[in-house]
Amino acid sequence: MALNKKPYKGTRDFFPADKRVQDYIFSKMRESASLFAFEPYDGPMLEEVALYMAKSGEELINDQIYSFTDRGDRFVAIRPEMTPTVARMVAQVHKEIPKPIKWFSIPNLMRYEKPQRGRLREHWQFNCDIFGATGRSGEIEILQLIVKLFESFGANKDQFEILINDRDIVNAVFNDLMKVDEETSLKLYKIIDRAKKVSAEALQKMISELSLEPASEEILKNYLSVQSFEDLFKFLEKNEQTDKLTSFKELSDVASAIGLADYLVYDPTIVRGLDYYTGIVFEVFDKHPDNRRALCGGGAYANLLKIFNENPVAGVGFGLGDVTLTDFLKTHDLLPDLSKNDVDLYLTFQTESALAKNFELASQIRELGFKVSNSLSPIKFKKVFTLGDKQGAKFISMLGENELEQKILLIKNTKTKESFEVKFDELEKLKDILS
Amino acid sequence: MALNKKPYKGTRDFFPADKRVQDYIFSKMRESASLFAFEPYDGPMLEEVALYMAKSGEELINDQIYSFTDRGDRFVAIRPEMTPTVARMVAQVHKEIPKPIKWFSIPNLMRYEKPQRGRLREHWQFNCDIFGATGRSGEIEILQLIVKLFESFGANKDQFEILINDRDIVNAVFNDLMKVDEETSLKLYKIIDRAKKVSAEALQKMISELSLEPASEEILKNYLSVQSFEDLFKFLEKNEQTDKLTSFKELSDVASAIGLADYLVYDPTIVRGLDYYTGIVFEVFDKHPDNRRALCGGGAYANLLKIFNENPVAGVGFGLGDVTLTDFLKTHDLLPDLSKNDVDLYLTFQTESALAKNFELASQIRELGFKVSNSLSPIKFKKVFTLGDKQGAKFISMLGENELEQKILLIKNTKTKESFEVKFDELEKLKDILS
C-alpha cells in the first residue's frame, strides 16, 4: 500500500514559498530582539513531564501534552511551551551572571490541540524574557519590544493593540475589596478569563452562580466596567487602593512618555489562565474585525525559580506564535511577495561539452557573492527565460559552442532584456552588472 | 523536592554563548545553500512511524527511534532524520514544479543513542537534496556545495576530505564479478561498512566466515586494496567493467576540472549502511588525528518516491550534523570568539528620574539601526564600563542629572575611552560615532 503523502494532523509542510515567509518572520524577530540586546538561547525538544507539572498543573498535562515514557523509563514530553525550559536554564546560571538577563528563542512546540484557524498542533513561538529587572522597567521594555516588532512588519496602531491588566490589581479586587475566599477567587479567574468569549447574559449567569455578597458583586461589576487607564485610576482611587494606583500609574506614565500609549488599553478581563503570573498580564490583539483574536500573550512572574529551590528572580516575558502572527500579517497584507526564490544569475549551457565549464563559472561567480543557479543540464535557448523567471532569477546566462570558443559569457537582464558580454578572465566585471 | 535543573539526557541547553556558535554555523549553512540557489523547506517534528519503516527497515525503528502512540491512536515518531520527510514532500509536488528541485533544511532530530563524543540524542542537521537532475550533474553539485560550505568556515584540504564510492560499482563487484547471492551480498555490505572500525585480522575473520569461492575472495581483496581513483580505474579496466568505468570517470573528470580533486578520495569501504542509495555514497572526514571521524554522509538514490507509488525521481543529498561539525571547527580552531553579545551601545542612567528619557533615547537610537542595551535601572558611574564590557558593548553612555538638564548624551568608546557629546535632538550624529 502506498504511504500517506500528507503531514501528520495539525502540523505543516513548509514548501519553499511557505518557508520563506516563516524565515522572513523569524528574521524580523531576531532583528528586533538583537536591537534590544536580547541574547539567543535554546533548549531541548524533550523535557521531563515533572517540569510542566510543577508549573502548569494537571489540566494541561493530561489533555494537551505529547508525553510518553522513554526506553530508560523517564516520563518525558515534547515541549508545549518554552517558559519552563528558560526557567530551568536561568536557575542554573542566575547567581553567576549580571542581571537583568534578557534572552530570546524561537523554538518549535507541540500541543495536542483540535486543529482550527490560528491553532495547530505544532507551531514556532518567539519567546522573550527579562529576569532580574527592578521596579516596572522590565515590564516596560517587554512592551516596547513587542511594539517595535509589530512596527518592523509595517503594522500600526489601527491594526493591533495590547490589552493589559495587572494580577496585583485583580488580586486586590478579589481579596481586599470583594473579600472572597481562595476557592471563589480561582473560580472568578476562570470566569473572567472567559468573559470576552461569552455573551453578557452567560457571563452574568456564571457570576450569579457564585452567590456573592451583593456588595461584592457590585464591586465586581464596577471593576468589569473599567475600560481605560483613566477608568482604572478612578476605580482604584474610589476604593482606596493607593499602592496599586501609584505602582500601575508609574508603568502607565513611562509608557505614555515613550510613545506606547497609543497601543496600550487597560482591560479588566485579561487575566491569563496560567497561575504563575504575579504582575502585568497582557495580550496583543488584532484589531481587524475578520481576525479579532489574541496574537501573543505574556506577563510578569516573581516565583518561577521556586520549583528549583532557588531564590526568587523577578521575570517578565511573552510568547508569540508563528501561526497567529502569519494570519495577522496576511489579514493586513503586510507580507512581501516571497513566492519565488531569490537568484542573481541562472547559469545555463547549451551543449554537454559545456558542463564542466558551467560548474567552474558557477563557482567563480559565487566567489563574488552572487547567488547562482546552475541549470545542471543543457537548456534550450527558448526555455531559458521561462525557467529563469520561475526561479526568480534577475539575470540569465547562456553558454553555447560560440561562447565556449570565444571564452565569453553572454548575460541578459530578465526584466530589461539588456545583454552583456563578459570574458571568462574578467568575471569581476559582473560586480557592476549583477548588483 | 526540587526539580532537576539539567537538560534531558543526551540533549543540550544552549546558553547564549553556545547558541551564538550554533547560529553562526546555521548562517554559514544558509549562505552556502542560497549561493547555490537551494530553496529552504521544513516539515513536522512528528511523522508516522510507517514512513521510517518503509525507508529504513526494522532495526532503526526498534532500537533508535522515539516512537509513541498519540491520543488519536496514530503510531508516530519524532523525526530521526529528514530524508523520509523531504521524499514525502517532493512526492506531493514533483509533477508540478520544474526540475531539478534543490532544497535545504536545518531540522532538529532525535535518536535514542548512547550519548558520546560526536553523538547526542538531539541534534540539528543541515540537509541538502537535489531531485530530478540528469546524468551525474546533481552528484557533482552536491560535492561542490559541501566543499564550498567547509571552505566558508575557513577549512582547507589539509583539514577535511570526502571519501567517496559508488553503489553501482560495489554492486557490480559483488554480483557481476564475485557472483555472490543476495544474502551474502547483504552480509558483505555490513562487513565492509565496519572495515575501518576493526583490525585487519578481524576483517579477514568476518570475510572468512562467509566461505567465499577462492576466486571471489581474491576479487574482494583486490577491490578492498583500491586506494585512489587511478587504482579504481585500473581495477575496473582489468575486470572489464567498461560501463562503470566510463560513468564514474565522467564524475571524476568534471570534479577534477572544477577543482574538487584535492578533496575527493576513492574509498571502497564507504558503502553507507542504509539500503536506499543507488549511486555515489560519500562521507566527509576530519583529517585531524584527534578527531578522525565522519562529519557528514550522503549519496544518490533513484527510488525514494516508490513508497508513495510515484514514478522514480533521481535524488542525491547529504546530512551534516551540528554536533560533529562543531567538534570539527573547534578541533581546527575555526570558530570566531562568540562568547559575548554584540551590542553597539550600553545605555545607562544615574538617577530614577532619567528612566523614561533612557527608554525614549533607546528607542530613537534603535531607529537608526543600532543595537542598544538599556540598563533598565540606575547604574553607578564606576560600574558602567565593567558591565558594558561583559555585554560586549562597543560604546557606553551615561545619563545623569547634568546631561538631562543640558539635553545631551555622553558617549564613550569602551576600547579607546574617547568621549563624545550628542544633543538629544541631533541623535542622527550617532551614525558617524557608533559605526
Paired with B42 in beta bridges are A14
pLDDT tens-digit series, residues B280-338 = 999 999 999 988 889 999 999 998 999 999 999 999 999 999 999 999 999 999 999 99
Q: Which three cell numbers stand for residue B242?
A: 567498461
Tell whether residue B71 is among the known ligand binding residues: no
B16 and A141 in contact by Cβ < 8 A? Answer: no
A292 to A284, A286, A295, A331: CA distances (angstroms): 10, 5, 9, 10
| ipTM for this prediction | 0.96
B275 versus A392: the higher-pLDDT residue is: A392
* CB atoms A12 and B360 under 8 Å: no
| Interchain contact, B37 vs A373, CB within 8 Å | yes
Q: Which region among A142-146, A334-338, B262-266, B306-310 has the lowest average model confidence (pLDDT)?
A: B306-310
Q: Which fold is adopted by the domain B15-43+82-151+295-339? A: BirA Bifunctional Protein; domain 2 (3.30.930)
Smallest Cβ distance to B343: which of A37, A54, A112? A37
Residue B301 counted as an annotated binding residue: no
Work out the minimum CA distance from A359 to partner chain B, whole angstroms.
Answer: 7
pLDDT at A59: 61
Fold that domain A343-434 belongs to in CATH = Rossmann fold (3.40.50)
Residue pointed to by grid coordinates 494580577: A167
B257: Cβ–Cβ under 8 A, 6 or more apart, which residues?
A356, A359, A360
Kindly state the cell numbers that stand for A176. 481586599
Q: How far apart are CA A308 and CA A92, in angstroms?
A: 9
Mutant choice from A20, A258, A343 vs B, greatest count of B C-beta within 10 A = A258
Q: Distance, in angstroms, between A370 CA and closest chain B CA?
A: 6
Q: What is the mean pLDDT of residues B114-127?
A: 92
Quick one: pLDDT at residue B56? 66
Residue B59's pLDDT band (cuts 50, 70, 90):
low
Nearest CA-CA distance, residue A225 and chain B, Å: 30
Best residue of A28, A38, A46 to probe chain B, by most B CBs closer than 10 Å: A46
Contact check, Cβ <8 Å, A9/B74: yes
B76 pLDDT more than 90 = yes
Quickly state the pLDDT bin for A56 (edges 50, 70, 90): low
Question: Residue B61: pLDDT above 70?
Answer: no
- Give, as one character, the DSSP assignment of residue B46: E
Note if the pTM is more than 0.80: yes
Q: What fold does the segment set A16-152+297-339 form as a domain? A: BirA Bifunctional Protein; domain 2 (3.30.930)
> Cβ B40–A23 below 8 Å, yes or no?
yes
Rounded Cα distance between A286 and B284, Å, is 49
Helices (H), A73-228: 83-93, 137-152, 167-171, 182-194, 200-208, 214-224
Q: Do B36 and A366 touch (CB under 8 A)?
A: yes
Longest dimension (CA), chain A: 97
Angle at B13 between CA B11 and CA B14, to 5 degrees: 125
Q: Which CATH class is domain B160-286?
A: alpha beta
DSSP state of B174: I
Q: Where in chain A is the domain with CATH 3.30.930.10?
A: 16-152+297-339, 160-286
Catalogue the E-assigned strands of A325-388. 343-349, 372-374
Q: At what angle do helices B16-35 and B137-152 cross, to 10 degrees?
A: 140
**What residue spans in chain B does CATH classification 3.40.50.800 cover?**
343-434
pLDDT at A115: 84
Q: How far is CA A39 from CA A101, B16, B283, in A?
A: 9, 6, 35
| Whole-angstrom distance, CA of residue B42 vs CA of residue A7 | 11
**Nearest-angstrom CA–CA distance, B3 and A318:** 23
Cα separation, B124 vs B110, in Å, equals: 9
As a whole number of angstroms, the distance between CA B149 and CA B146 comes to: 5
A51: nearest CA in chain B?
B3
| Portions of chain B given CATH number 3.30.930.10 | 15-43+82-151+295-339, 160-286
Q: How far apart are CA A189 and CA A193, in angstroms?
A: 6
Does position A200 have pLDDT exceeding 80, yes or no?
yes
